[in-house]
Structure 1
Amino acid sequence: MGFDTDVCSGCTGPSAIYRCKECEGGELLCQACIVSTHKRNGLHQIEFWNGVFFEFSTLKSLGFRFQLGHKLGHKCPSPKPSPDDDFIVIHINGIHEVSVDYCGCYEREERVTQVLKYGWFPATPRKPRTAATLMVLKHFQIHSFESKTSGFEFYQSILRLGDNTGLQPVRDRLRSFMTMIREYRHIKSLKRAGRGHDERGISGTKPGECAVLCPACPQPGRNLPPDWKTRPEKERWLNRLFLAMDANFRLKRRIKSSEEADPSLNKGWAYFVDQEPYMEHVKTFSDQSQAKSTCSSHSAVNNSRLSEGFSVSGVGSVGCARHDCMRPCAVGDLQKGERYANMDYLFLLSLSQEELQELIDVIVSYDISCQWCINLLARMGNYSPSLKIDEARLKSFIYLVPKFHLPAHISSCQTQFSFNLHKWVGRTDGEAPERGWSHINPIALSTCEMGPGSRRDTIDDHLGDWNWKKSYTMGSSFLRRITAAVQESADQALSFHQFDIGLRTQPELEKKLKKWEMELIAWENDKTQLNPFEERVKRPTQDAVRRALAEEDKKALKEGKAYVLHTLFSASEFIAVGLDLEDHQRHAQIDNKSLGLHATNAQVTKLDYKSNGLHRRMVQWAEAQRDYMPSTKPLFEGEDMDSEPWDLPLSLPSSLPPSQFCDPRLQDLEWRLRSAQAYTALDELRRSLRLRAYLYIDKDKYSRGQAQNTRSNTLIQRASTKVTAAAAKYRAARLAIASLSIHYSESSWETDFPLLEDADVRSLQAEPDSNQEKRRKKTTPSEGRRKVSWIWGVLGDNDTALDSEELQDDLRIEWCKSRARANRWQEEVLLLQEEMERVLRFFESQAQSWKSRAKFQTQKGENDGRSAYAHQQAALQETILPFEFLWMMSLNHIQVCLGDQGEY
């Protein structure tokens, strides 16, 4: 391809050797034309034809000068060049050295003002020598929100866009660019909060005023109806404020800079609390004693390993539990785990806002609510007056545990603090903070290297963007949620109705149902009442049965009727020890299989010691077996001498064929012990599954790096081994019971001990898979849609022994849960309807607020711009969500589904 450099496309003159890489067409121009045509595009990239190829050039080298302080294209009569003709402008296409002329007229404006009016953001407030275009700052802000690009990475990208060879010398302006970004973020947040339309000015900004508020959460004076305080009691719960607390240990900060060198610009005006009073509180109460946990061991509370080498180990937060938004003045740095002093401050400060004082009904979701809320009132008594709220109000708060975290708690917590079982909470899951953290966690790699103030300001900006995105997507979100809720509410109501009718057809249960309903209502109103969701029939355990057998042996010895044929073991001891040996065999087999092909000497030695010990105990037991079961083949004879001890059959009564004689008294003893063993195995299985679920949660939240992940995976593998062993114990016990049942007329054993399939061995919640991609996919439905494995208390459909206390206990629990599911979905529909109306009121209120700001007057002739911006924001608030349309679409479905039924 040749180039005609003889004729200029602009003036038809000679020497057309210049072209712009960004203007369309790629036409060749002479020097005068290339400068003239770029009066409005002075930051375009230029190149010239050197006779062989196009070579890099700049408009500055061709004589182009930026004139500030005048209309575009007008020259100042007395221009003032930038000192040393040295000015750097950072744009989206590169970093440019340019020539700048300031206005030198008599009534000239400040140089900073001239730079700003041109659309550049100066790096310094006086005599600027560097600036960034507003376009590049906006580009970076949006890129950082969506792709989590760091300032350094974005700057390097800009540098390469200007020159990807690295051969053109460009002065480093990274530090200036980072300063401009931070100032730009701060000014934009003040502008969007309307601080330029307030007589108090920026210095009069109150805590939290720069935060983007959740439109759907109840806010007196903004989105609640005028009569919200006088609503009927059955409707007051619709005004509830749902809060969710959590900590994020990914948002750490290394020991960099200091508060004096790098203070925050926001000063508690957005989401992070004001650092000075917060740190004073933390230092005062850092040694606050925390009672020993009565629940599972929650390591995050006293987690210290994450703070090594870091000045901040993470952040704590308080957000709205239903809409995933972060609340104002509700985020603070953590120094050592989730200490109560830190989390108390954030929680109490987030509720100290004047407009929230009237809200009485508050639901608090926290993954350690069961422990944290116990002494909250007493701790609050020691805090400063700014953190104290009405004690009666605090006592009325309801504390629950997020649904995904709940299985890691003990069984009593799983009913006492469950969102699924508590009335008037809808289908709230309490896991809102986790969704917010997944959005912001990718910036952790860059914020951990920042100074304290710039880090907080950056996170504040990202949290504001998260809240804003949640706000303007609420229309489609609510429509999707209410459509699903209406259908699910109808399905769950029908399911409960069918279950209830089926139970009422049984005369044995009709009176029981009335009693269960009364107990459930009493417990929902007062958690100190008898809990209908907890088991009341205690299944026999192995230890209890063994103690009973020992008491029987003791009594028989005194009466001279003891069944003792061996000097070391009574008959009951003989069977009990046999079951213990069987259990040891199972564990030894698991250990043997886990060795692998490359086991270490220490691992092999450990298994050998275990094998030798098992062998000695089996030899001793085999001597008693010759006395109690002479018809069985003795252990360790013939070909069995070379077998591993875990492979030898023990020949207990249940393993003998029907044709082989065995003392019925031994069969009876084994039947009793095996039944207890099956119940004990189920308890162990449930406990191990709960432990494994907690370990998965702990690993996902707190394990970072190879060492910590290896440690967590090892613990999870141990828990999985326990699950496997417990399942094997239950199956062995059930197999023995099935074999022994032929000697009895007992027929209910199949109901008491259902078949345990592999699919039945699962937690109440979906557990992660070893494959990371599969872990993101749900493998089991949630509580609202679930089918619970029978191991958690729900038996099969073939239960006929309705007079069984165990079965009635299980039926009561499932009836209460089925009723709770139906009620929660009905409440969800009502809550969504209420929230949609609140969102409409909120944006209407915001529009009115901006219209009133449009009337703000100043003495500097700046009213036109401020008024235009206020009107623009008012129009945005009025059109952001077509909620009337969405609400009307859903209203008919809501009425058809709910009618006037009230609660189920």
Structure 2
Amino acid sequence: MSPLWIVPGRVSVLNALHRVRLWNGTFFEKVLLKTLGLRIQLGHKVGEGCSNPKSTFANDFVVLHVNGIHQVALDFCDCEMAQIPIIQLLRHRWFPATVDNPKSASTFTVLQQFHILSFESKASCFEYYHTLVRLTDNTSMESPKDRYSAFLRMVREYRHIKMLKRSGRGHDPMGAAGTKPGGCAVLCPACPQPKYNLPAGWESALPGQRWLYCLFLALDANFRLKRKHVSSSIADPALGDGMSYFVKRNDFIDFIDTFGKLIIQDPSTCSNHKAVDAERSTKGLAATGVGTIDCARHDVKQPISVGDLQKSERYVNMDYLYFTSLKDTPLVELVVSYDIACQWSVKLWDRMGQYPQHLHCGPSDKRSISFLVPKFHLPAHIMSCQTAFSFNFNLHVGCTDGEAPERGWSHINPVAMSTREMGPGSRQDTLDDHFGDWNWKKTTLMGISLLRKIQVAVAECNEHTFRYHQFEAGLNATHVEQWSKELDLWLQDHRKQNPFEPHFKPLTQNLVRRELANQDAAELANGTAYVLHETVSASQMMMMGIDLENQQRRLAVDAAELGPHSTDIQHTQIQVRRNILKRKIDAWVSIQHLYIPSLSMVRAQSAGDQPEDPAERVSLILPSSMDRHIPCDPRLCSIEWKLRKSQANDALDDLREGLRLRAYLYIDKDRFLRGQRHNTRSRGVIEQVNVKVDAAALKYRVARDAIYPPSTVLGIVGWEAELPPLLGNDIKQLSGDDNETEGHRSLSWIWTRVGGGSRVNEEERLQDVLRIEWCKTKSRAERWSEEVKLLLEEMRRVLQFFSSRAVEWDRRAQGMCFTTSHPAKHEGLASYSARQASLFRTLNAYCQRLWRFVPRYVELGGMVDVIPPEITRAHDED
């Protein structure tokens, strides 16, 4: 059969990859064009300057196409005027697998299709390649030559070249080698970018306006993006190391090796965060996850702000990412969100002093940095953190929630299973590519996103401003003026008295015990002490009784867990505890009979012939559980009343702490834990916390029930309002319903109760509650007002950013930076620049059209609809 020649020409070459079927007399069967004699000639056509054509033959050249994998007979032009083989392939939109003597290639269509598909479906190269294999032959009997490794290489090179091209590196005389750190990252158009979207003279803005040019950052870690000990940075280096989102690998590793052991993290003074992130397994892992710095308001990854974690979420790793991402910024206003900001920020500047000079970017006379905790994570912190580090109560943050990284993880987590098997360079380039696509999608959707936000913000601003003025109108003007001064002082310096917290703290059991001990000492000094035992006073006897009661409750809970399949060791441990507790009770009862002699007769009469109760069921017969006919000194009732009230306050503290810890454990479980083993272990930890929550609730109910009898004897009234009954639906975490927000939430009374000693009267407690509510109402109105102003400034910045980028590409289109004098290359560079400039102008025009009603909407206070019906319908369908 004579060969069928396909001469150069784009359409002809693409047609050469069609799949054909040949009628064999019975049915159509697959046949390769190569077997029909097809040969593809690349390079020159005869008569087009090629006077003496020569060819280099490639009879088994493999091409990956969208309809399968093709084996073709390919001839490269080898005349004096011919380009090298890889140029010949690229001119026909075939991407070669190697630069030296290529034996396979992929069509640009295949690479582009996989590139987009990997972003949308998170399909791996392995899955896509074997899809092509099955499209070629779904029987596995005539599978094409394996080109999986070659496809991996082509995809990686294609991604890298596209990144360089889109960032304008082809227009720069320095090329890819001159790329600055983070120079290929897609920037957030709504964040302050001094080069692109800040007005002239922004540096000299008045203090009251500087917050509009604030940069909001959010730090977080993702422990699903692990990497196994596979390959090395020598065998698998990153093509774009430090060019976009990941920090330069070698610099980062050297820093961690130098300071990883020098930086010692102090124990947490907040909730026990180590309970949820410590002791993560590092066996077989080169990286346990990644840490990142994001834009906290728009969920966009910052340049050079991603790095691997070697062991949990260490400060030293996050410090490097934080300082690296900020070292070149001239911005003076910063708000930094981090779920452990209350601990991480304490000695941040001390740690910075130990780091190299190029990482120093700390506070100065002109720079203002605020550290806050994301709203969803805040309930897991202690009460003092829930105001000092709250986005709701601090100035100039709008309605930022700080949870932007969490939304971004849902996009990147599906690639975790494929990237964990990659070498360091492949994984870094892949994640960089996905982060870049995420940023670009956020950029193109910025118009609709900001439009929806300002629609909500204007309505909420009006609503909360009205509520604030309405609430304030019913308050005493003198009190409001005093509260306003107190709030202003605290906002300027959080070390001042916090107006969002009660000024009258509940009396704790330890404090009451200390007061009783001091009272015993004073009575011993003046000879009026109530002491009938040589070493144990009346107050000590009552404290011991309440402690024994607590031990009985704990033992009863543990004994109830014994079942028919419990081991002998478990039964032995419970019995030993019973024996020890029984001896303690017997010793205590002998002392109690000295202070309440009538109880000896009561116990003797009730004993009779009945079997002895186990230690946890022995009745201690404290004054609160005595029958009224049993004589008892009122002083014992007074002591028990004080101890029981403080015991109830302690129980509420334990209950709140347990609920905060449980909320944080659920956060950790949802974010980081996958697999039956880890989830089972996590459920076990959560169940232990639930046991503590139930124990604290029982402790409160017992204490409250025990308060009533002595309060009746002593004639004390009004304590019921301070210590309400604890119902089942009262036991819920601070954040309440997931659908509730700060402005609409319904809190359980356990989070809002104002406790106090007997010296605090009702009027003082009422003013305390009113002050807290006034501060919160005022803060809500101010945050929504700030949100409207921030959104208007962000809209202005987005429009200016797109215009600035268009002008930047226009300058490139003028040929000012071209590195070649070749007419065709010059024309290609100019054409691409013009297309990019047109793209940014189109985005600018699109946003202007979407936002054309916004000024009028803000002016009228949300009385008109700013979203055109066609936009609403389109996104409702989406």
| TM-score (structure 2 length as normaliser) | 0.89
Partner of 2:285: 310
Partner of 1:770: none
Partner of 1:602: 569
Partner of 2:749: 790
Partner of 1:733: 703
DSSP-derived class of the 2:853 partner: helix
Of 39-48 and 857-866, the range deviating more from structure 2? 39-48
Partner of 1:57: 31
Match of 1:830 among 789, 793, 811: 789
How many angstroms apart in 1 are the aligned matches of 2:753 and 2:639? 28
Partner of 2:875: none
How many angstroms apart in 1 are the aligned matches of 2:56 and 2:627? 105
Match of 1:876 among 813, 829, 839: 839
Partner of 1:669: 639
Distance 1:42 1:612, change over 3 A: farther
1:333 aligns with 2:308: yes
CA-CA distance at 1:255 after TM superposition? 1.7
Identity of aligned residues (%): 48
1:885 aligns with 2:849: yes
1:691 aligns with 2:647: no
CA-CA distance at 1:599 after TM superposition? 3.3
Once the two structures are superposed, residues 45-98 of structure 1 have per-residue CA deviations (whole angstroms, 9 ceiling, x without a partner) of: 333344454433222212223332358999999765554511001122221111
Q: Which amino acid aligns with 2:573?
A: K
Partner of 1:131: 105
Partner of 1:813: 772
DSSP-derived class of the 2:611 partner: helix
Q: Which amino acid aligns with 2:184?
A: C
Distance 1:72 1:465, change over 3 A: farther
CA-CA distance at 1:787 after TM superposition? 2.7
Structure 2 residue ranges without an equivalent (≥5): 864-878
How many angstroms apart in 2 are the aligned matches of 1:98 and 1:531? 77
Q: Which amino acid aligns with 2:117?
A: H
Partner of 1:485: 457
Q: Pairwise CA RMSD of aligned residues?
A: 3.3
Of 675-684 and 385-394, the range deviating more from structure 2? 385-394
CA-CA distance at 1:184 after TM superposition? 0.3
Q: Which amino acid aligns with 2:398?
A: G
Q: Which amino acid aligns with 1:315?
A: V
Match of 2:403 among 431, 441, 446: 431
1:719 aligns with 2:683: no
Distance 1:637 1:788, change over 3 A: same
CA-CA distance at 1:115 after TM superposition? 0.8
How many angstroms apart in 2 are the aligned matches of 1:364 and 1:519? 25
DSSP-derived class of the 2:506 partner: coil
CA-CA distance at 1:560 after TM superposition? 5.6
Distance 1:422 1:155, change over 3 A: same
1:589 aligns with 2:556: yes
Partner of 2:327: 352
Alignment of 1:215-614 (within 5 A): 215-296=189-270, 297-299=272-274, 303=278, 305-353=280-328, 356-357=329-330, 359-389=331-361, 391-392=363-364, 396-504=368-476, 510-556=477-523, 561-563=528-530, 570-595=537-562, 598-614=565-581
Distance 1:628 1:551, change over 3 A: farther
CA-CA distance at 1:498 after TM superposition? 3.5
Task: Flag the structure with more relative contact order, 1 or 2, with Cα contacts below 8 A and sequence separation at least 6.
Answer: 2
Of 590-599 and 142-151, the range deviating more from structure 2? 590-599
Distance 1:476 1:649, change over 3 A: farther
How many angstroms apart in 2 are the aligned matches of 1:735 and 1:780? 35
Structure 1 residue ranges without an equivalent (≥5): 1-30, 505-509, 767-777, 900-904
Q: Which amino acid aligns with 1:151?
A: C
DSSP-derived class of the 2:290 partner: strand
Partner of 1:156: 130
CA-CA distance at 1:898 after TM superposition? 9.9
CA-CA distance at 1:723 after TM superposition? 1.0
Once the two structures are superposed, residues 665-688 of structure 1 have per-residue CA deviations (whole angstroms, 9 ceiling, x without a partner) of: 333332222111111111111222
Distance 1:561 1:348, change over 3 A: closer
Alignment of 1:753-792 (within 5 A): 753-765=723-735, 779=738, 781-792=740-751
The count of corresponding residues between Structure 1 and Structure 2 is 846
Match of 1:96 among 70, 86, 104: 70
CA-CA distance at 1:751 after TM superposition? 1.8
Once the two structures are superposed, residues 308-351 of structure 1 have per-residue CA deviations (whole angstroms, 9 ceiling, x without a partner) of: 32222322222211111111111122333333333222222212
How many angstroms apart in 2 are the aligned matches of 1:484 and 1:377? 38
Contact 1:300 1:337 in 2 (8 A): no
Once the two structures are superposed, residues 176-200 of structure 1 have per-residue CA deviations (whole angstroms, 9 ceiling, x without a partner) of: 0000010000000011111122233
Distance 1:79 1:628, change over 3 A: farther
Of 489-498 and 187-196, the range deviating more from structure 2? 489-498
Contact 1:406 1:418 in 2 (8 A): yes
Of 228-237 and 360-369, the range deviating more from structure 2? 228-237
How many angstroms apart in 1 are the aligned matches of 2:730 and 2:513? 29
Once the two structures are superposed, residues 382-440 of structure 1 have per-residue CA deviations (whole angstroms, 9 ceiling, x without a partner) of: 43343233651696322222223333333333332222221001111222222222211
Partner of 2:858: 894
Once the two structures are superposed, residues 838-874 of structure 1 have per-residue CA deviations (whole angstroms, 9 ceiling, x without a partner) of: 1111111111112222122531221222222222222
How many angstroms apart in 1 are the aligned matches of 2:45 and 2:843? 35
Once the two structures are superposed, residues 680-732 of structure 1 have per-residue CA deviations (whole angstroms, 9 ceiling, x without a partner) of: 11111122222223333344455455444333332222221111111111122
1:111 aligns with 2:78: no
Q: Which amino acid aligns with 1:763?
A: Q
CA-CA distance at 1:807 after TM superposition? 4.3
How many angstroms apart in 2 are the aligned matches of 1:384 and 1:658? 75
CA-CA distance at 1:615 after TM superposition? 3.5
Contact 1:80 1:101 in 2 (8 A): no
Contact 2:342 2:373 in 1 (8 A): yes
Of 294-303 and 374-383, the range deviating more from structure 2? 294-303
CA-CA distance at 1:554 after TM superposition? 4.6
Of 175-184 and 692-701, the range deviating more from structure 2? 692-701
| TM-score (structure 1 length as normaliser) | 0.86
Contact 2:156 2:429 in 1 (8 A): yes
Distance 1:578 1:873, change over 3 A: same
DSSP-derived class of the 2:230 partner: coil
Q: Which amino acid aligns with 2:848?
A: E
CA-CA distance at 1:33 after TM superposition? 14
Once the two structures are superposed, residues 449-501 of structure 1 have per-residue CA deviations (whole angstroms, 9 ceiling, x without a partner) of: 21111111111101001101111111121122222222222232233333333
How many angstroms apart in 2 are the aligned matches of 1:84 and 1:378? 65
Of 371-380 and 649-658, the range deviating more from structure 2? 649-658
Q: Which amino acid aligns with 1:674?
A: R
Distance 1:641 1:574, change over 3 A: farther
CA-CA distance at 1:571 after TM superposition? 3.9
How many angstroms apart in 2 are the aligned matches of 1:130 and 1:727? 70
CA-CA distance at 1:173 after TM superposition? 0.8
CA-CA distance at 1:662 after TM superposition? 4.9
DSSP-derived class of the 2:638 partner: helix
Partner of 1:43: 17
Distance 1:550 1:836, change over 3 A: same
Distance 1:72 1:714, change over 3 A: farther
How many angstroms apart in 1 are the aligned matches of 2:563 and 2:856? 63
